[in-house]
Amino acid sequence: MGVGTNLKRLRAKTKLSQQDIADQLNIDRATYINWENETFDIKSQYIPKLADIFDVDLQELFKDDQKIQIINNIENKDRAGGVGVQKGNIVINIINVSDENSVSRITEELDKYFRHKK
């Protein structure tokens, strides 16, 4: 189960439309659809906001038996951090996250996740 599947499951549970979520994130509906379809990666700045919309912990967005791999890809030319699934692993690509609250929340949730896995 990938991130897109979790987004669909959570959206169905909350009875929100794709447009509702896109509006709350101030993005195009097509962008959100691409996240659900796992066509595009979710930019890291939206991860805490999605967790807030669905009223879940960040780890719930990535809930699966898969491993989480964190990449600090500062050499990436497009500077577009995101989340995706690659070879069965969840990949979080963090680049230039300037929202201090997002960085703090991502760090807290990942710490909780790894403490729980031990």
Amino acid (1-letter code) at residue 110? L
Distance between CA atoms of 31 and 40, rounded to whole angstroms? 8
At residue 81, the pLDDT reads 52
Rounded Cα distance between 67 and 59, Å, is 12
Q: Provide the token pair at 111.
A: 């710490």
pLDDT on residue 98: 59
For residue 85, the model assigns a pLDDT of 44
Whether the pLDDT of residue 4 is over 80: the answer is yes
Residues 84 and 88: their CA atoms lie apart, in Å, by 10
Position 34 confidence tier, pLDDT thresholds 50, 70, 90:
very high
pTM of the model: 0.57
- Placement of tokens 């930019």 in the chain: 43
What is the reported pLDDT for 108?
Answer: 73
pLDDT of residue 106: 73
Q: Around Cβ 15, how many Cβ atoms within 10 Å?
A: 7
- Nearest partner of 105 among 41, 40, 39, 61, judged by Cα: 61
Q: Which residue has the tokens 């719930």?
A: 60
pLDDT at residue 18 is higher than 90: yes
Domains (ranges, CATH) in the chain?
A: 3-117 (1.10.260.40)
